[in-house]
A and B are shown apart, each in its own frame.
Chain A
Amino acid sequence: MDKRDLHARPVRARRRLRLLLASGAAAFTLTAGLATPLNPAPQQAQAKDDKSTLTVAVAQSVDSLSPFVAQRLISTSVHRLMYDFLTNYDAETGKAIPGLATEWKTSKDKLTWTYKIRDNSKWSDGKQATAEDAAWTYNQLMTKEGSALQNANFVANFKKVTAPSPTELVVELKKPQATMTALDIPIVPKHLWEKEGDLAKFNNDKKFPIVGNGPFVVTDYKVDSYVKLKANKDFWRGAPKFDELVFRYYKDQDAAVAALRKGEVSFVAGSPSLTPAQAASLKKTDDIKVNDAPGRRFFAIAVNPGARTQDGEKFGDGHPSLHDQKVRQALFTSVDRKTIIDKVFQGYAEEGAGYIPPRFKDYFWKPGADQEMSYDPKKAAQLLDDAGYKKNGDGKRVGKDGKPLEYRMLCHATDPNDKAIGKYLKEWWGDLGIGLKVDCMDNVTDPWYAGEYDLAFDGWSVNPDPDFVLGIHTCAALPAKPKETASTDNFICDKKFDDLYQQQLAEYDPAKRADIVKEMQSQLYDSGYMNVMAYPNAVEAYRTDQIKSITTMPKSAGNIYGQDGYWSWWSAVPADGSESSGDSGGSSTGVVVGIVVAAVVLAGGGFLIARRRRSTAEERE
């Protein structure tokens, strides 16, 4: 092949290469130079359109905009804003107050509930929201196909739901149910949804704005990026103060905090809670308020009591020594809860006691001094000696079978607190002579449901109505077959606890019901199968130069993100002049620096090219 021929191409190739290089560099510089001065874009947009936007950074992405499909907290929070529920919870007391229903009454036999539906709630397409919509929504959940949908658990005890008139909804029950004013089911517009075929596969994310009747209307949604809502000016309780609400997804909580610092977002959700380090550094920052709210979660250590089915068939391989109450008590009297609060949570948590967190005042219970398993390593050692687990030559506790005690503990790899507390437990129990292997996994449910664990980190977010978190410790919640998915939390099954559970469910008098619930907690505490270590606070933060005021729940000291109502976002008031925050000092520095950077890059590029020219020239000589 001819050499010349071979080299004819390269000249072009080379020119093209250089051209490409130059254009690539130019494009990059241009982007950097142009884009940087525009920062921060959102505030500028506000200034331009003269509308106030509240941007919330969340650590979860929306899984579905359909309330029948969505499972994540972010999605249910958005649904709260899109659709009205029958009832709502008072921001101060947490008691049920009117939502779509204005009032409700129950029949003498406690089996029929009649709700009066308000006549001033309109869907955002102009149609009236009626009892018919509510009945349709509930009926969908009650059908055979509907039972696989989200929220179906609320209607499991329903016999029949009808709407005799547009303002009247009647629910007939199979058994009395005390939670009838806590039906957290978003009610969707029947006239649009009945046209959608299979609800299990409909994600409600094709047509915008999405028709709803809540305080906000979803106008835009981008998977894994953001959900945008605009204020519903016709909302019956009154229009929200912010014109626009955006939930923006950050995979990394740290990135979200950084965005808050810069003013890219107005609020960082405390789910997961901000870390002590983040909270401490944000507290030192101007114009940022850290909201340290008592949490609604409990953080507990669950003990495997021996997994079994409803029929009593045993399975799993929980350590038999843990069936001895003395051993369990020894374990938990050697745990220093105060250190956990001070060191791991660094004060952003309450010390654990009863099962239900103290923020739910009505149901909160804590053990008396004689009942409490307080930190006492000596007593723990004594308890183990008494139970027959003596230390051997190596300082290990040995069982009757001659094997040293060694427990496995399930830990959520995604929860830093699990890992941190695991480290402490390992050392405390190590001092006691008990070995601990902390198994951290992304997905703990498999060994958990198989009963293949000794101890586990456990925690639930508690609703204002405690029915659910109590129900998961009843015999009825046990699996039907070994290793099958079931609603049981920890395979606890106790006749006395079950009787109390049934009593509270049928008790319509709040005070009496609360007493029963406390008794149940006392019993759970003594069993030593559920040991609450702490109630972690929900630590969140917002910019006071963007949000003037916002309602927490409870009002005095409560959380903002993940409330049981829509109070926070509905009540949030824009800060004065937040519309013009695009002109604030920070971003103008940004502009200057952006220009400087662009100039430096250009100059550097110019220098390189000049140098190249020169060197070529030198070679020519």
Chain B
Amino acid sequence: MASESTTARDQDAVPDGPAEAGPSARGPRSRSTSGYLRYVAGKLAGAAVSLFAVLVTSFFLFRLIPGDPVKAMTGGRQVSSEQIRAMREEFGLDLPMWQQFTDYCGKALTGDLGTSYQFKAPVVDKISEALPATLLLTGTAFVLYTLIGIWLGSRSAWRHGRFGDRFNTAFALTLYSVPSFWLGLLLIIVLSVGIGPIPGMFPTGGMESGGESGFGYVIDVAHHLILPVITLVAVEYARTLLVMRSSLLDEMGSDYLTTARAKGLRDDEVRTKHAVPNALLPTVTLLFVNLGNTVAGAILVETVFSWPGLGGLFYQALSVPDLPLVQGLFFVFAAAVILMNTLADLIYPLLDPRVGR
């Protein structure tokens, strides 16, 4: 019961699907080390099953996409039917579906996700080329919106009902309701292109100007990073804020806070030393889940800012359609979420003193 209601509240706090992919069970019942190990094993097995399920889905879901792979490979050139046959053979498209599937799974186990039709390069290579850019963008945004969300959320809860709280919550909810791509476009108009007296201060897109090295390169990338990060942070921080706020509100009724106050601690101390750390625990799980989702959620921001990451690659791959690449990317997006959920599951009992050893 208790665990269910915690989950439910997490979900209610912010009306968005992915965020609720929180761990279903809140830690092991047993407090012994072997209990924890058994718990870890269970979670890892669950993750493995999920990953496999994703692999299956990505394989079959994208077989439904209309579009002849051979057509994608030849790019509309004149090709003879022998050439087409040769290509089908090369990519294993002449085999029956189940055999294509077992081949795919077998190769996936060895880290081979096939060869991109349009780039004629291994899918794994294309993904690892684009991954750093996405990690940089989402990682930076993640750190910032987590910090901002926790900070504002705890302040809000501590003085709930006052103007500051209402303003904070309303502001966060408003930004949360804004389509991220639209916010990005507006930021480009105002801060990149410049409107009226405001000159364009930031690059309009891309990750680097090219030709910089060393410190200059770092600064250049940072300069390109600012607007996309602002966009992501603006639309994402509400989630953390609201969860932090509601879990702190939960804590605030607790007896130990009254005890702490009775000991003569100042209000500020009670908040920062006692209430916030405990309220952080439910938030931690959410953070991991957020990180996994932000990777996929960055697709739009990457498109608007021409960021050379996974999102842009996914969109390019879909329109061809470049099946191996689409499958590979889908797998990576889903795997990110699964991985983060599992991590959250594993870390939670270590953090929560009530559940911990």
Contact = CB atoms under 8 A, between A and B. Distances in A.
Asked whether any CB of A lies within 8 Å of a CB of B in the complex, the reply is yes
A197 to B, nearest CB: 13
Given A3-B256, A250-B206, A586-B199, A35 B222 contact: yes
Contacts of B14: none
Contact of B219 (A35, A63, A259): A35
Given A251-B306, A258-B188, A35 B68 contact: no
Given A14-B273, A41-B220, A485 B120 contact: no
Given A28-B144, A262-B192, A264-B203, A228 B319 contact: no
Interface string B175-213: 000000000010011001110001111111111111110
Contacts of A167: none
Contacts of B278: 6, 10
A262 B304 contact: no
A446 B143 CA distance: 44
B188 A225 contact: no
A224 B130 contact: yes
Contacts of A107: none
- What DSSP secondary structure best describes chain B's contact surface? helix
Contacts of B207: 225
B320 A443 contact: yes
Given A224-B312, A225-B207, A63 B118 contact: yes
A286 interface: no
Given A63-B119, A449-B68, A449-B71, A258 B280 contact: no
A9 B280 CA distance: 12
Given A35-B219, A485-B70, A593-B201, A480 B274 contact: no
Nearest to B225: A31
B30 interface: no
B303 A222 contact: no
A159 to B, nearest CB: 16
B205 A41 contact: no
Contact of B211 (A42, A414, A441, A443): A42
Q: Say which size band chain A's interface belongs to.
A: 35 or more
A126 B216 CA distance: 33
A153 B75 CA distance: 13
A545 B86 CA distance: 52
A150 B354 CA distance: 65
B267 interface: yes
B79 A590 contact: no
A45 interface: yes
Interface stretch (A16-24, A95-103, A108-116, A316-324): A16-24
A277 interface: no
B205 A252 contact: yes
B204 A446 contact: no
B42 interface: no
Interface in B257-276: 259, 266-268, 272-274, 276
Contacts of A123: none
Nearest to A145: B86
Contacts of B204: 250, 255-256, 258-259, 262, 264
B83 interface: yes
Contacts of A468: 78
Given A3-B256, A39-B201, A225 B210 contact: yes
B87 interface: yes
Interface in A589-606: 589-590, 593-594, 597
Interface in B125-184: 126, 129-130, 143-144, 147, 150-151
Contact of A620 (B83, B126, B266): B266
A226 B277 contact: no
A416 to B, nearest CB: 15
Nearest to A249: B306
Interface in A253-308: 254-256, 258-259, 261-262, 264
Contacts of B277: 7, 9-10, 13-14
A619 B267 contact: yes
Interface in A21-50: 21, 24, 28, 31-32, 34-36, 38-42, 45
Interface in B67-86: 67-68, 70-71, 74-84, 86
A374 interface: no
Given A31-B226, A228-B211, A203 B143 contact: no
A36 B194 CA distance: 14
A259 B259 CA distance: 60
A148 B86 contact: yes
Most buried by A among B144, B222, B312: B222
A6 B210 CA distance: 51
B272 A14 contact: yes
A237 to B, nearest CB: 27
Contact of B77 (A34, A153, A249): A153
A453 to B, nearest CB: 13
Contacts of A140: none
A54 interface: no
Given A38-B223, A262-B200, A593-B199, A447 B210 contact: no
B318 interface: yes
A369 B3 CA distance: 81
Contacts of A175: none
Contact of A10 (B81, B276, B308, B313): B276
A200 interface: yes
Contacts of B276: 10, 14, 17
Interface string A539-553: 000000000000000
A152 to B, nearest CB: 8
B220 A248 contact: no
Contacts of A9: 277
Given A252-B303, A258-B188, A148 B206 contact: no
Contacts of A252: 205, 303-304, 306
B210 A226 contact: yes
Contact of A35 (B194, B220, B273): B220
Contact of A32 (B194, B206, B226): B226
Contacts of B188: 254-255, 258
A39 B71 contact: no
B111 interface: no
A150 B77 contact: yes
Nearest to A226: B210
A14 to B, nearest CB: 5
Given A41-B212, A203-B120, A449-B68, 5 more contacts: A36-B202, A249-B308, A442-B319, A443-B66, A446-B66
Interface of B: 65-68, 70-71, 74-84, 86-87, 90, 115, 118-121, 126, 129-130, 143-144, 147, 150-151, 185, 188-189, 192-194, 198-212, 216, 219-220, 222-223, 225-226, 256, 259, 266-268, 272-274, 276-278, 280, 302-306, 308, 312-313, 316, 318-321, 353-354
18 contacts: A9-B277, A31-B225, A42-B211, A64-B120, A71-B118, A148-B79, A150-B77, A153-B79, A224-B312, A250-B306, A255-B305, A258-B189, A443-B65, A443-B66, A445-B71, A446-B71, A590-B199, A620-B266
Closest 4 CB pairs of A and B: A10-B277, A35-B223, A71-B75, A224-B308
